[in-house]
Amino acid sequence: MAASGNADDPGPGANRAADPAAGNAGRPPYEQARDELTELVKRLEAGGLTLEQSLQLWERGEQLAAICEEWLEGARARLATAMARQHEGGSAPGAPF
């Protein structure tokens, strides 16, 4: 599972480093993690799994949820930075970018 490599992606750790791509090695893109998590939840809800299978899926789900949260935190940080720059430029609050 490789990162997208696009420096414009707000990846995990983007709010912790100047380089938004920092910390993305081996992490799936947000959409991939979200989709895998959705499928995993469907499998768990369908039932019919052993206890061990259920625990493994739950653990993977926790990992995926953390990855998604990191992507979202990075996106929030990028938006906050963009909005701060917009306001510094003298634009009215709420004005389109």
Amino acid 50: pLDDT: 97
Return the closest-CA partner of residue 73 out of 10, 9, 8.
10
Residue 26 has which token pair? 């081996």
- What's the mean pLDDT in 18-32? 72
Query: Distance (Å, rounded) from C-alpha 86 to C-alpha 93?
Result: 8
Q: Is the pLDDT of residue 5 over 50?
A: no
What digits encode the pLDDT tens for the residues 41-51?
A: 999 999 999 99
What is the pTM for the complete model shown? Answer: 0.64
Supply the DSSP string of 14-37, one letter for each residue: TTTSSSTTTT-TTPPPHHHHHHHH
| Residue 10 clears pLDDT 50, i.e. is over it | no
> Which region among 12-16, 31-35, 61-65 has the lowest average model confidence (pLDDT)?
12-16
Q: What is the pLDDT of residue 4?
A: 40
pLDDT averaged over every residue in the chain: 79
Instruction: Give the position of tokens 């949820």.
Output: 65
